[in-house]
Amino acid sequence: MRILFAGTPATAADSLRVLRDRLAGGDHEIVAVLTRPDAPLGRKRVLTPSPVAAAAGEAGLPVIKAARVDDDVRAQLADLDLDVAVVVAYGALVPAAALDVPRHGWLNLHFSLLPAYRGAAPAQRAIIDGLTGTGASVFALRTGLDTGPVYGTVTAPIGPDDTAADLLAALTVSGTGLLADVLGGLADGTARATEQDGEVTLAPKLTLEDGLLDWSHPAAALDARSRGVTPEPGAWTTLDGQRVKLGPVRDAARPDLSGVKVPPAPEPGLVAAHGRSVLVGTGDGAVVLSTVQPAGRTPMPAADWWRGAQHGQEVRLGRREW
């Protein structure tokens, strides 16, 4: 089959590499890659190709850079005589007019068990919600947000220390494998899609605000949230009006941390050292800090930060005094 791969971020680039390996030597060929245009990146605003564009370049695949699938892009795709297009986080909606350009339409690899967690940040939201497992789905693109019929799913556990990065990495590999299987099924006519069934939930893109830790919340919730927003957009709090970025925080009451005895838990937001751990009080107990990164500084172990942060004063995080 002649396949178009559409994607933009690093996760999609990994998926492209995995898919290419999976298809190597078979009857299927990725004939082109669609990704978003180069964008200014970083403080210096250097125009940088998307991770997918970079991966495609390494693989020697032709790249179409476009912010939207407009008439011009649609014409290019039509010329490619595509059997199918696959989308992994392209970053723009595929308009209805383009949906039937490939012979078998468009497939989307989505990192949830649909119809749960439709939207841009499904894996992250699953972690934040404290789930112990989630999965990936391959479905047929239709108009509407992640609403098409599902060809297949894989499941994945969410470990107690898993961050969004960990989960995405795992889902990328297993999900791309699933994608390869579905492509095979489409080619030999055995693939079947079934309409989504179940409770619909939404997983919108994470904002900076989603990473703000509210110390009045329960320790377990803060633990889950901090992992779900790591590495993007990152968990954070404030100290003296300055943003302080945090690595994942762990619920001090978790069984696997039984070594950490929490004396009277500090009140919410108050920092206290205990042995080698640095604790922060929450709504119901304490969390253990892992890494701390004050604005303008490089990330450091919590104990190192604590050493220099005290100056004889009590340290209270997250106070909105600004």
Q: Which of residues 9-28 bind RNA (CB under 7 A)?
A: none
Using CB under 7 A as the binding rule, whether residue 103 contacts RNA is answered as no
**Helix (H/G/I), strand (E/B), else coil: 66:** coil
CA quadruple 171, 86, 59, 51: dihedral sign:
negative
Please identify, using beta-carbon distances, which residue of 133 and 275 lies nearer to RNA. 275
- Which segment (94-102, 114-122, 183-191, 305-313) binds RNA by CB under 7 A? 305-313
The binding track of 258-277 with respect to RNA, each residue x by CB under 7 A or -, is -x---------------xx-
Neighbours of 24 (CB within 10 A): 9
Using CB under 7 A as the binding rule, whether residue 76 contacts RNA is answered as no
| The two three-digit tokens of residue 180, written as one number | 């390869």
Alpha helices in the chain (DSSP H): 10-23, 51-59, 71-79, 96-99, 122-128, 164-188, 219-228, 302-309
Binds RNA (CB under 7 A): choice among 25, 42, 189, 241: 42
CA quadruple 73, 74, 80, 85: dihedral sign:
positive
| The two three-digit tokens of residue 208, written as one number | 């900076």
Binds RNA (CB under 7 A): choice among 76, 153, 291, 293: 293
Using CB under 7 A as the binding rule, whether residue 45 contacts RNA is answered as yes
The binding track of 196-235 with respect to RNA, each residue x by CB under 7 A or -, is ------------x------------------------xx-
What is the DSSP secondary structure assignment for residue 38, as one 8-state letter? P
Binds RNA (CB under 7 A): choice among 188, 311, 313, 314: 311
Count of residues interacting with RNA (CB under 7 A): 29
Residue 85 Cβ vs RNA, minimum distance, rounded to whole Å: 26
For tokens 């030999």, the residue is 188
Pairing of strands 285-288, 250-251: antiparallel
Distance, CA of 147 to CA of 303 (rounded, Å): 47
Using CB under 7 A as the binding rule, whether residue 304 contacts RNA is answered as yes
Using CB under 7 A as the binding rule, whether residue 296 contacts RNA is answered as yes
| The two three-digit tokens of residue 46, written as one number | 């250097």
Contacts to RNA by CB under 7 A: 39-43, 45, 208, 233-234, 236, 243, 245, 259, 275-276, 293-298, 300-301, 304-305, 307-309, 311
